[in-house]
Each structure stands twice: as structure tokens, then as C-alpha cells.
Structure 1
Amino acid sequence: MLALTSWLLIPAFFAAGMILYGYWRGKDTRWVFVPLIFFYLGMAWTCKYDRDWTRREECAKSLSKAFVEAEGKITTLEEKDGTLKIICKDNQVWKLGDKGERSGEGLSVNGLMVTVKDISEREKRGNSAGLQTLLVGQKVLIRGEGELFSRARNPGEFDSKSFYQVMDLDMKLYGEGIFILDSRKDPVLEGIRQVKLWIIGIFYRLTGEKEAGIFVAAVIGDKEGIPKEINDLYQKNGIAHLLAISGMHMSVIGLFFYRILRKTGLSYGFAGGVSSVAVILYGILTGGSPSVLRAVIMMVIAFLASYLGRTYDLLCSAALALLLLGLQSPLILMQGGVQLSFGAVFAIGGIMPMMVKWVGDDRPLVKGIATSIAIQLATLPVILYHFYQLPLYGILLNFIAIPLMDAVVYSGLAVIFIGSICPILGTAAAGLGNYILIFYEFACRCMEKLPYYNLTFGRPDSKRILAYLFFLSALFILFSITTNTNPGKKEEKPGFHSTSIRLLLLFFIYGSSILFFKPAPVNGLEATFLDVGQGDGILLRTGTSSVLIDGGSSSKKALGQYTLEPCLKNLGVPAIDYAFVSHGDLDHISGVRFLLEESKDVSIKTILLPYHGKEDEAIQNLESLANRRGTKVRYLAAGETFQVEGLEISCLYPEIKDTPDNVNEQSEVLKMDFGDCHMLFTGDMGEKGEMQLLERYRSQLSQINVLKTAHHGSKYSSCGAFLDVVSPSWAVISYGENNTYGHPHQEVMDRLEERRVRVFETAKSGAIRLWTDGQDIHFSGFVDEE
């Protein structure tokens, strides 16, 4: 069930605000009920949408992990690095038996995302049709293994299921062969695909590889070729939106055709109709993302208004576009890109004019500054909610960069049209756009050298967002009250001094609004046991301090990039005070290694490595990376204690005199005390190490109430004698689902059950969160909360 009681409160507040505004303005009060009617109709539509998807999910689950055969129609088609990716719609899917025969009746699956690797080799062997023979619109047969889209299992992790649900896709299929059943193509969609490939080819022939990737993204919305370094640079400086197709692109394309047709003497209706077709085809060419659809709808409405002789209203057209997109999929309204796109439009159409009127000066420079501030105010909570970071100087960079982006688009279009006739002139046409792109990169790198250029605030909670909305509402009321409006008197433009003061006040307001989202210190102690697959990763936070214990996985190859770093940013952690590495196995260090080697957003102040791992190559590599990064390195053995605000961390094992038999026995054993909450982290230690702990620290171990179970629940750990002394109330086991080691072993689960220990498992609950104030202890699972 969709969270109707949570996120639908947002449109409810908007509806209430519209009603109050209607009464306040003294207009016909009958219209104020329209928002409520639409609100409740929207709720009904959302409930129906939710029921339909519940049925579709059950169908997809029945096909998951099974070898299937699907018949469907190709709607999109692309190849990259020998891997073919296609989207098939209106599919019939059958499970296949042991002999490859269809079993049972075919199930209707609306959307399939199909991936076929090594397509060229498969084509040579006759196991698959190749890229040259596959066309959009063809009906094909595909055999392969079905799989569900994954849900986010940790804070900050990408939620594939929700993302692809908006695209109307039910599941993915790893194809082992694809065969054409009906060779008839869709002439329009296939023609557009061929045009897209032709355009990409022109850019890569006539410009440099890096510049071509950016030009392709800026002109036709394909971001696959953007160098990762440039993409990250734009993202961190708040100008990544420049590479997304927007209303600016639609204006360039649409108005280009419209003005030419009008100058030839054609009617408003014919010129608007042809221009509307042009922007619709361009929207399809660029991929038809929700933001593109918004821009297409608004552009078509503008042409219609011109034909009817009516005034075009930006906010009304945006509202209609929002309604139509919501009818397509209610979940589309929850996407960050959609919220940013509409937030910017509503800021330009609603907030900016109010600011300009308040300043009392409508010159272009003032409008530009007001537009930039209005967009930042409107999109600030959206940026932090979805991306967790705020480019502090993005408002200044956007003020410079946005006006120049028109020239980049025009330059790109010139490359296409001129370069197709004369390659030399096409290369020359890229010059202006290329110089602007060089300037963008230079400006971003200059901004990176400034202090606090990118602030990690984490995802704000609903209370902060609500408080911010009330702040904005009060601000706009204040603007309205203090605006000089006297219909009977001609207004005089304010002097330079007055305008400057008011503009400075706008910048001050923007700076003050950021303070709403400054992270607050953690009240009590929060421990997050990350779902890292087969591995360990625990984050402890108290006050303003953060401690990381391990962070690695043997089943998630890009754990640091896609799980650990996003989680830290989501929780507002730009720096880790202490990072403890229990031992040098990959499933405990891969994410930590990423933070030291590649992460630019999260730093580690001090890393504590196992004393007995000094000769381990993996530990030596971590030390080298830490020294290069400026991270303090210490080797840890039993007897050392650390105080982190109200949290005390003690190392119990191994002592310097110990001689561990293997890498697992080198594991640091850490005891953490926060009031009456006592936790024990045992790494991958085995039964031998556990018995040594009992001999040395029996009295301290008897205090433990939360046990991080050793070695992912291996049967060679958590022996009965150890559990009898520790006697925990709760245990957490971190392991990967369907791992080849058989973790957690049934014997361990039985021993814990016999002792009435409540067990939390990351493979079942996703990330597990513990919170305590030093007395009460509360657990929750991330997947369970969803």
C-alpha cells in the first residue's frame, strides 16, 4: 500500500492554502472547492493504481528466479559495450520446464527490461538476433531468467523498484537469446532512433570525445557518454540540471519552427500545429522523461493559447502538466527530477514576480538575481531530500551558467545541421559551445577551492520541511504586506542604493533558509547495521560524532559507491571520527578502501587497524591510502580505550602477546558502552578466540545486552559457552541472502533461540537501526519500515 497518509498530506496542504487564498482575495468562493475535488479524486486514482500494481507485483514474483520465455514488442533499443538493452511492452510470459517446454498458461506482463550480454558472439553462434536486425516495433521472443527490481535496503540507496515502476516496468530479464517473430517495425519510433544514432555519430566525429558526450547530453538528453568526472563535478556544484532536457530546449526547438513558419505567412493554427509536432518528436528523441513531458505539454499549451488569442499563463500550464503526469503515474510526483523541474517553474511563475515587485525594479539584472534566488528557495528541500548535499555557491554559478546554456544548445544544433553538410564548418560551429563548456569546468573547479563549497546536510525529516514551508509562507505574506502598491499613483523606480539593499536582503533570506536544514546532533546513540550483503558494516552516531566499524562486502562489488557513501551522506555524515577495521578480509574493508581512495564527499579522520595485521597486504594497502589522504593511522590492540562524547569504546582482543592462528582470529573485538546499553562486536573470530575472551573478561562480557554475532553466523562461532556468559537480549547477524557459505548456520540460530535471544538479520530486514538513550533500547529494520 502506498503511504497515502504521509506524502499525500503535501497536496492536502496546497489545497487548503488555495482555499484560504481564494477567501482572502474575495473572489468567487465556489471555485475553492475544486482543489478538494481534485485532491480526493487523486486519492481514489492512487488507490486504484496501487491495487493494480499489487496484482502486477504478485505476477512478477511468480516469475522471478525462473527460466522463462517471453513474447513482446520492442519499444526502445540500444547497445553499449556489447550488451543489448531493450524494453518490451505488452508481453506474454511462460515459465519453462526442465526440457525447455512451456509450462502452464502465459502471464501478462506489461513491461520488461531485457539485457542480453555478448550479443555479437551470440549472433555469430545463431543463438540470438543482432543489433542490426532488431528494430523498434518488432515482435520478439526472448528466453532468459526473470528477476525483480531491487528495493533500497539501506538509507540513501537507490530504489530500483520505485524508479522502474514509474517507467511502467514490472521486472527485468537476463536474456540468453532473442528471436524475431514479426519483422514489421514502427516507422516513427524506429526513424527517431536512427536519427538519434545519426546525431550521436556526428558529435563524436566532429568534436572531442569528452565534449561530444556533453553535447549529446545537452542537445538530445543521452548522458551515457558524459565522463564520470565531469558529471560529478557538475553535480557537486549544482549545475547538473544544465545537462537535462528542459523547457529551454523546447523553447529553442519550438520557437525556431514557429517563428520561421509565421514569417512565411502561415496561420497561427498551422504554425502552432507543426511546431507542436516538432516538440513532441523532439521529446520522444530525448527519451520522454517526466521533465521532458512537462516541457512538451507546456509548449503545446503555449501554441494553443496563441492560436486561440488567449494569454498564456505559466502556472496554469504547469499545473495541467502536473495533473496529466499524475494521471500517468501518481508515483511520478515523488521523483526528485520531477519535483525539481516543477519547483523551478512554480518559482519562476510565482515567487520571482513577487520578489521583483517587492524590490521595485524589473530590470533584467534584478530579474535574473530574483529568479536564481526564487529557484533556490523553492528547490532547497527537494535537493536535500533526494541528494543530501547543498552546493553553497550554486546560486552564483547558476546565475552565470544558465544564460550561457542557450548558446551551448544553439552551438550543438549548428553542429548537427551544418556538420551534416560540411564537416569542417560543423567542427567550427562547435567552437562557441566548447569554449562555454571549458568555462563551466573552470568555474566549477574554482568553486571547489572555496571553503564549504558543498555542504552535506543529509535527508531532512518531515518536521524540518514543514517548518521551512511555514517560513516561506510567512516570507511571502511579508513581501505582500511590504510591497508598495498604490493604483492611483505612478510608481517610481527605486534608486541604486534601495535596490541593492533589498537584493542583499534576498541573499540574506536565502542564507538564513539554509539554517533550517543544518543537521542537529544525534540525541542518544544510534547504531546502523548496514545491509552490505555478505560482509559487515556498522555506523555509530552520537552527538556530532560518527564511528564506523568495518565496511566491506564480498557480494557487492561497488559497496562503497552505491551503499556506504550514499548512506553516510543520507545521514549527514561528511566525516568519520574513528573507523575501526577488525581484520583485512575483503568483506570487511572494501567500502572503507573506497572512502580512502575515491570518495570526495566523506573523509576519515582516524583509522584503527588490527595490530596483528601489520604484515597483511590488504592492511598495508589501507595504511598507504590513509597516509595519502591525510588520515591518521593507528594500530589497535587490547587494552586501549576511546571516549567519543558519551560513548566509550574498549578493545578487548587480541592482546599484543597473542599469536592468532589466521586472519579471522586477528579480528578486533570491541566493547561499546553507552549508559546501560552494552554492545559487543566480534568481527570474524572463532570459538578459540571466544574462549580466550571468557577467560580474560568474563565479568565485562556478562554486561552485554546487544551482540553483533561473529563471522556472519558461522557454526564455528557463537558457541554455547560463550552465549551463556554473554547472555545477550538481542543479536544482529549480517550476511548476504542465499550466500554460498550457508550463513547463518542453523546450529547458531538454534543456540540463540534456546537462550531466547531476539535475532535481527540484515538479509531479511535490510539495514537494522538501534537507538538508545542509555536506558531504553529500540530496534527497527529498514525494509520493515518501508
Structure 2
Amino acid sequence: MKNRPLLSVCLMVLCIIASMVVWGRERFIKELRPSPIERYAAEGDNITICGKIYRQEQKENCRMIYLKENSIYSNSKKFQESKIIIYTNSSQKLHIGNQLKVCGKVSFYEEARNPGNFDQKFYYQKQGIHGKVRSDDIQITDYKRNKLKDRLEKFRMNWQKMLQREMGERDGSALAAILLGEKSGMDQEMKELYQVNGIGHILAISGLHLSFAGLGVYRIARRMTGSYKAGGITGGILLCLYVMMIGMTVSVIRAWVMFVFRIGADITGRHYDMPTALAASAVLTVGIHPLYLYDGGFWLSFGAVFAVCTVIPVLENEMRCKSLCAGLGINVLLWPVILYNFFEIPVYSILLNLIILPLMSVVLTCGMIGSFIKMAGWIPGKWILWICRCILWVYDKCCVFTIKLPMARWVAGRPDKRRIFIYYLVLMTVILILKFKRNGKKYIISITLYTVGFLILISGPWVRTGAEVTMLDVGQGDCICVEGPEHKTYLIDGGSSDIKNVGKYRIEPFLKYRGIGSIDYVFVSHGDIDHMNGIEEMLKRQQVGIKIRNLVVTGEAYRDEKLEELISVAEDNGTTVWEMENGTQIREGKLRFTCLGPKEKNINPGNEASMILHLEYEGFDMLFTGDVEKEGEESLTDTLSYLQEKKISWEVLKTAHHGSKNSTTEAFLENVKPRYAWISAGRKNRYGHPHKDTLERLENSGAKIYSTQENGAFGITVNKKSMRIHGRNG
């Protein structure tokens, strides 16, 4: 530090900014305060916006227009909003710098509704965006454009189209993601395959890209001119244009600042100090966007370079196999970051990257050279791009092979901050032992210490005690997760009528967050899509998602065509199917599921024939009712009347049919008398669930009501005859 004054200053500034973000919160960070649009406009209000275009994106179903310097008129009020996004289907030709007048309804981004889900609100909040408007009523009020940015955007779009045309939609979109950071058109299965195998980083613009674009040109220009200054200016200009075209992401800012330090050191004849360059780039990044301190991409990007400065040199001094040092060093430093953000470890990623990373230089070189030659109209460009296509084929085959290997993915859940702190403390101790201790025992000590630290990091799911029941927010649908005392997992229904891909985006992330890589039993109450379409999706995604061991359904007499189709999907994907009839039980230690229905023979498939389950554990009783109503509920009421002789006190009732008017009658509640009533229903759903009459009946019965509409996900933890209800944030 004594010889690195700039590094010391940068670290001090970082600590100050971090303190302001973590402890100062909205007092210092304006992005955390309610913005003017949040204060003066309500969801669904009609507003008029006048703003300037600074970015455009074409998505699958719509077009996104980013506006800045906005004047907004809402409810006879006028106020300023720094940034906002317009979603439109309009094909009107627009350019960067155009001034627009837009009329439409305002809405706001959602927070994560379940633990582990994507927090859309915070994602845009980090960028200073607090609202959105959907509108096709767009007028250009000023045709003035930013010619440089507009031409760069047009060049990027033409580049992407050329790649898709010459290489095919799938491979062309993948190469566009690698070269341009443009992932919107990429095949989702391919993207997910890369991510679950631990090579998703190749799709992010990183230092490798900027080193190729900037340092490559810098060195060529320096040799041609014999001048460090001329080479630096040439490389810097090209790099600035490239950065303006692809956008200022976290990794781009870091790589760009470090490049400036690198060529600056060459030009001035000074030593290039990577730690100082890294610290300066971190200060600039969080200085522009303070909330990036909460961004996983920030920690992955800066953590990888920090590993190059600290961990990898130590490993290279101790290991003979130098090729493993980079991957191993980066991974041991980033395991906590990966688990905190993605909840799983790609077990073979270190070995896979030994193949992937050396080929990335070839992909970048051939991709850029081939693209420029082809755009110049020369046929050899297509042949060079064909090399990229072959390498992408190798990537695909490697990922498909790796994902089929035993233990390819280890779902460990999100570690708490205390475990992360202990892990890094242990890792620092190991690095110091390897660096300064000289006797042979240091390897045994280091391996033992690191193993202990790693086990502490991933041990969260293993040390949980008792049982936990969580009602997930799946919109207009049902999904409840039960975690047993011996670490078995049960899912009761899983579907939604208003959330697209509910299995992938709502259910699976929650399960991974909890450290659940496989479900022991999935109960499907009946064949409505809002109870089973997420399960069907998950059955088909088991290789990259969550393994489902057993599917439990009602008897054949109570099943409709949709449920039969689900059974076929389960059998085709290696899941065992069981029938559960009245009186059947599934046990796990002191935890027990008992089927209470349907039992009437003349009930038709559908809501009335919903599977009814009674969960018992350590004096805790919960009733799961599916969508039961009418004759099914009458039959269940008779059963519960009989059970009253056993003096069962129902702590929790899963309210039937999302709280509809036709279920949960007074006679039924008289027999249950639940302490808590849980309701799963979509916000602003078209059915009006839960119905006010049902809510009134529940309140009159003395039940305290919890609803996913109001609370998002919530759950109850039962342990040694004590229980605690908690929300999605704990």
C-alpha cells in the first residue's frame, strides 16, 4: 500500500460508498428513494411523457424504448423523471436522440414474489428506472438525433442480422450474444444449457472482448507507427466506439478502465499495476451506479480479476498443472458469489472451461474478422464464420455430454452471510499458509481447512430442523412446498393461469434457493391447468431444472384427460407415478400425509374430485383442499365431523379454490375452525378471488387470513411443538 497511493485512495472511497449504500440507504442513495413517478402517479394512471430516446431494444413480443430527461403530466401534475421505459408494438422508425411524446398507462415493476425469484423492481432500480408505460400512441416532437450513437446502433443491428443470416438463427444469435452482448434473440434452451454448465460467462462482454478490440488494435497501430501514443489513441478510440455500441455494463466498465490504465502505463513508461486498475474501475462503477454493490454480475466480474491478482499466483507456485490454476483459483474465490446468486454449482465447470476458454479467443478472432470481411462483401468472410459455427457445435456437444454426467449440478441453496464470512476467512487463512509456510504439512493443513470452510458454506440445508410449509405466489394458481424433518421435499400442486412458464420462473428458483435439487413427492390434486401446468413444465425440464422422483395422483375414476396426459409426461421423463386413495398415508419420521378424499364413487372428475390431504407433524395439523367444492366439500365435511372425535385442532387451512364463493361453507368451517387460513390467488385476477363472502365466513370462524395477493410467498416453520409464520423475506 505504501507504494500504491492511488490504490489506498480507491479502497477508502469504496468503503465510504459501501457504507452509504448499506447503512445510509435512501439518505444518500437517490435510487432507493421513491421517484417522482412513484410519488405522483398510481398503477394504471393515464400519463403523458415527453422525453429523449437513449436506447432501444427489440424483444420477442414487443419493442422497448428507453427515455431520459422526461417531463410527465399526470392527474393535473407536472414533474420530472430521469428515466422510463416505453413498451410498444409500434413499428414506427425511431432514432437515438429523438424527442417523443407518449400517452399511455403507467405501471411499476414487481418485487420478487417468492424467495429466489428475479427481483424485477430492484433490477431496474439499479439503473435509475422506476416505472414503465405501455403505449402505441407515440409522436416524434423533435427529429434531432445523436448521429454517432444512432449509426452505432444501426451498425450493431445490421451486424446481428448478418450473423443470423449467414450462420442460421440459432448459431448467429449465439455469436451475436458473444460479440455484441445481444442476448434477446438467443435460443433460450441454448442459453440455459450454457448457464447450468457454468460457461454462461462467455455470453457476457468481458475483458477478453475488450482486450481483443482495444489491445489488439493498440499493438498493431503501435508497431505500424512506432509510437505508443498513436497506438494508444487508435486503440482507445476504437474501444470507445465498441463500448458505446454494446452498452456500459459492469464488466464493460471494469475492462474499459483497466484498458485505459494499461495503455496509459505503456505510453508514460510506468509499471501497470492490476490491483490499482481494478480498484479504480470499481470506484467508477459504484460511483455511477451505487446499487451495483448488490449486483451478482459486479462481484463475479471483479471477483474473477481479484482472483487473478491474489489466489491464482499462489496456486501457480504450488501446482504443477498450471492449466488448472486459473479455473480453480477463480472458482474457489467465487463459490459464495455463485451460490448466493444462482444457488447451484456446476460440478464439472472447471474441466469444461479448460476446453471452452482456449477456443474463445478463436471465436472472437474469427467472429470479428469474418464479420468485417463479410460485411465488406467478400465471400471468405462466410468461411471464417463457419469456423465459429463449428466451435459453437463443440460447445453444444460438450454441454450436452457434461449435463448427463452423474452429479453434474449440485443445488446447495443460498448461503447466509455468516457462512460466507466464515468461508472467506478460512480461504484467506489457506492462502496465507500456502504462501508463507514452507514445510510439507502445509498441503494437508490447507486441504483440511478448505474442506471445512466449504462444508460450512454449503451446510445450510443440511442443518435445518423440523418441518417447513411454504405457500408460493404463483399468481392465479396453487403451489405449496413442504420440507420434512428428514430433508425430504413434497410439492402440492404447481400451476398458474396467468404466469407464463411458472415452473421455470417461480417454482424452480424457490426450490433452488432452498437448496432443493429434487422433489421426493409431487401431489396433483386435480387436472386444472392452474394446479398442474408448472408441474408438467418441470417434468420436461428435469435435466436442467429440478428432479421429480414421484408423482402422486388420485384414483383413475377421478382423473380427467389432462391429468392422464400429465401422467404420460411423467412416465416419459422417468418419474414414477402413484395413485393415492382415501386413507392412504405417506410417512417421514413424525411427519405424515393422509389422504382424506375423494371417496365418493359418483363424483365426476374436476374440482369436486380434488385430492384432500391432512399433514400432521409434532401436534401441527394442516388441511390441503385443492379446489374442492359442492359434493366434494360436503363429503369432506362429514369426514372432518368424524375426525373431531380425535380432537384434532387445525392450525392451518389451505382455503379451497382460491377463496371462491362456492367453497369453504359455514358448515365446513364449523368442523375445521382453523387458526390460520391461507389463500393463493392472483392479484387483480378476473375471477374476483378471494370472494368477499368467503373472506367474511373465514373471519367469522376466527381464522387469521394470509393471502399471496397481499403477502407474496409466506410459510410456517414447525419445530418441537412450536411454530412461526414468516413472509418471503424471512
Q: Same fold, TM exceeding 0.5? A: yes
Which stretch of the first structure deviates more once superposed, 372-381 or 274-283?
274-283
CA–CA distance in structure 2, aligned partners of residues 82 and 52 of structure 1:
29
Which of the numbers 620, 630, 644 marks the counterpart of 2:574?
630
Change in 2 beyond 3 A, CA 1:336/1:725: same
Q: Amino acid of the residue matched to residue 594 of structure 1?
A: E
Secondary structure of 1:523's counterpart equals coil
Alignment of 1:536-615 (within 5 A): 536-542=478-484, 543-600=486-543, 601-611=545-555, 614-615=558-559
Q: How far does residue 514 in structure 1 lie from its aligned partner after superposition?
A: 4.8
Match of residue 749 from structure 1: 695
* Structure 1: unaligned runs, 5 residues or longer: 1-21, 96-102, 121-129, 485-497
Secondary structure of 2:33's counterpart equals helix
Which of the numbers 23, 36, 39 marks the counterpart of 2:15?
39
Match of residue 430 from structure 2: 475
Alignment of 1:131-142 (within 5 A): 131=93, 134-142=94-102
TM-score by length of 1: 0.87
Match of residue 77 from structure 1: 56
Match of residue 341 from structure 1: 301
Q: How far does residue 740 in structure 1 lie from its aligned partner after superposition?
A: 1.9
What is the alpha-carbon root mean square deviation over aligned residues?
2.7
Would the aligned equivalents of 1:595 and 1:602 in 2 still touch at CA under 8 Å? yes
Would the aligned equivalents of 1:704 and 1:727 in 2 still touch at CA under 8 Å? yes
CA–CA distance in structure 1, aligned partners of residues 342 and 479 of structure 2:
22
CA–CA distance in structure 2, aligned partners of residues 505 and 285 of structure 1:
50
Alignment of 1:198-213 (within 5 A): 198-213=158-173
CA–CA distance in structure 1, aligned partners of residues 311 and 133 of structure 2:
46
Q: How far does residue 159 in structure 1 lie from its aligned partner after superposition?
A: 0.7
Which stretch of the first structure deviates more once superposed, 302-311 or 643-652?
302-311
Deviations 1:486-520 (A, max 9, x none): xxxxxxxxxxxx9xx99999999877765331541
Deviations 1:250-290 (A, max 9, x none): 11111122112212335433432332222122112122211
CA–CA distance in structure 2, aligned partners of residues 417 and 255 of structure 1:
18
Which stretch of the first structure deviates more once superposed, 558-567 or 594-603?
594-603
Which of the numbers 340, 345, 353 marks the counterpart of 1:385?
340
Change in 2 beyond 3 A, CA 1:199/1:248: same
Would the aligned equivalents of 2:673 and 2:702 in 1 still touch at CA under 8 Å? no
Match of residue 118 from structure 2: 158
Q: Amino acid of the residue matched to residue 719 of structure 2?
A: D
TM-score by length of 2: 0.93
Alignment of 1:209-248 (within 5 A): 209-248=169-208
Match of residue 535 from structure 1: 477
Would the aligned equivalents of 1:578 and 1:606 in 2 still touch at CA under 8 Å? yes
CA–CA distance in structure 1, aligned partners of residues 57 and 425 of structure 2:
46
Alignment of 1:394-433 (within 5 A): 394-433=349-388
Q: How far does residue 244 in structure 1 lie from its aligned partner after superposition?
A: 1.2
Q: How far does residue 607 in structure 1 lie from its aligned partner after superposition?
A: 1.1
CA–CA distance in structure 1, aligned partners of residues 715 and 271 of structure 2:
54
Deviations 1:409-462 (A, max 9, x none): 000111122112344200111233233222222222222232111111121222
Change in 2 beyond 3 A, CA 1:447/1:747: same
Which of the numbers 438, 443, 449 marks the counterpart of 2:404?
449
Which stretch of the first structure deviates more once superposed, 530-539 or 327-336?
327-336
**Is residue 2:679 matched to residue 1:733?**
yes
Deviations 1:190-243 (A, max 9, x none): 011011122223323332332211221111111223222221221121111012
Change in 2 beyond 3 A, CA 1:326/1:201: same
Would the aligned equivalents of 1:138 and 1:184 in 2 still touch at CA under 8 Å? yes
CA–CA distance in structure 2, aligned partners of residues 511 and 241 of structure 1:
26
Match of residue 249 from structure 2: 289
Deviations 1:79-98 (A, max 9, x none): 34573221111111223xxx
Deviations 1:551-571 (A, max 9, x none): 111121321121111111221
Match of residue 641 from structure 1: 585
Match of residue 517 from structure 1: 458
Q: How far does residue 73 in structure 1 lie from its aligned partner after superposition?
A: 0.3
Change in 2 beyond 3 A, CA 1:538/1:41: closer
Change in 2 beyond 3 A, CA 1:70/1:34: closer
Match of residue 649 from structure 2: 703
* Structure 2: unaligned runs, 5 residues or longer: none
Change in 2 beyond 3 A, CA 1:443/1:541: same
Match of residue 777 from structure 1: 723
Q: How far does residue 641 in structure 1 lie from its aligned partner after superposition?
A: 1.0
Match of residue 490 from structure 1: none
**Is residue 2:561 matched to residue 1:620?**
no
Would the aligned equivalents of 2:558 and 2:604 in 1 still touch at CA under 8 Å? no
CA–CA distance in structure 2, aligned partners of residues 590 and 692 of structure 1:
27
Would the aligned equivalents of 2:583 and 2:596 in 1 still touch at CA under 8 Å? yes
Q: Amino acid of the residue matched to residue 85 of structure 2?
A: M
CA–CA distance in structure 2, aligned partners of residues 256 and 392 of structure 1:
34
CA–CA distance in structure 1, aligned partners of residues 561 and 214 of structure 2:
61
Change in 2 beyond 3 A, CA 1:79/1:444: closer
Deviations 1:638-673 (A, max 9, x none): 111110233100011111x43225611101111000
Match of residue 16 from structure 1: none
Would the aligned equivalents of 1:141 and 1:179 in 2 still touch at CA under 8 Å? yes
Which of the numbers 261, 282, 291 marks the counterpart of 1:301?
261
Q: What is the percent sequence identity of the aligned residues?
A: 32
Would the aligned equivalents of 2:60 and 2:184 in 1 still touch at CA under 8 Å? no
**Is residue 2:173 matched to residue 1:194?**
no
Which stretch of the first structure deviates more once superposed, 245-254 or 741-750?
741-750
Q: Amino acid of the residue matched to residue 340 of structure 1?
A: L
Which stretch of the first structure deviates more once superposed, 250-259 or 217-226?
217-226
Q: Amino acid of the residue matched to residue 480 of structure 1?
A: K
Q: Amino acid of the residue matched to residue 389 of structure 2?
A: N
Change in 2 beyond 3 A, CA 1:51/1:225: closer
Secondary structure of 1:737's counterpart equals coil
CA–CA distance in structure 1, aligned partners of residues 55 and 5 of structure 2:
48
Match of residue 125 from structure 1: none
Would the aligned equivalents of 1:614 and 1:620 in 2 still touch at CA under 8 Å? no
Match of residue 768 from structure 1: 714
Would the aligned equivalents of 1:60 and 1:148 in 2 still touch at CA under 8 Å? no
Deviations 1:77-126 (A, max 9, x none): 2334573221111111223xxxxxxx413221211111112x24xxxxxx
Which stretch of the first structure deviates more once superposed, 330-339 or 34-43?
34-43
Q: How far does residue 687 in structure 1 lie from its aligned partner after superposition?
A: 5.0
CA–CA distance in structure 1, aligned partners of residues 394 and 4 of structure 2:
52
Which of the numbers 83, 87, 90 marks the counterpart of 1:111?
83
Q: Amino acid of the residue matched to residue 690 of structure 2?
A: P
Match of residue 99 from structure 1: none
Q: How far does residue 693 in structure 1 lie from its aligned partner after superposition?
A: 2.5
Change in 2 beyond 3 A, CA 1:49/1:56: farther
CA–CA distance in structure 2, aligned partners of residues 245 and 412 of structure 1:
14
Which stretch of the first structure deviates more once superposed, 373-382 or 416-425?
416-425
Change in 2 beyond 3 A, CA 1:524/1:81: closer
CA–CA distance in structure 2, aligned partners of residues 766 and 81 of structure 1:
28
CA–CA distance in structure 2, aligned partners of residues 432 and 449 of structure 1:
26
Change in 2 beyond 3 A, CA 1:301/1:442: same
Q: How far does residue 346 in structure 1 lie from its aligned partner after superposition?
A: 0.2
CA–CA distance in structure 2, aligned partners of residues 441 and 28 of structure 1:
45
CA–CA distance in structure 2, aligned partners of residues 35 and 434 of structure 1:
43
Change in 2 beyond 3 A, CA 1:670/1:272: same
Q: Amino acid of the residue matched to residue 174 of structure 2?
A: I
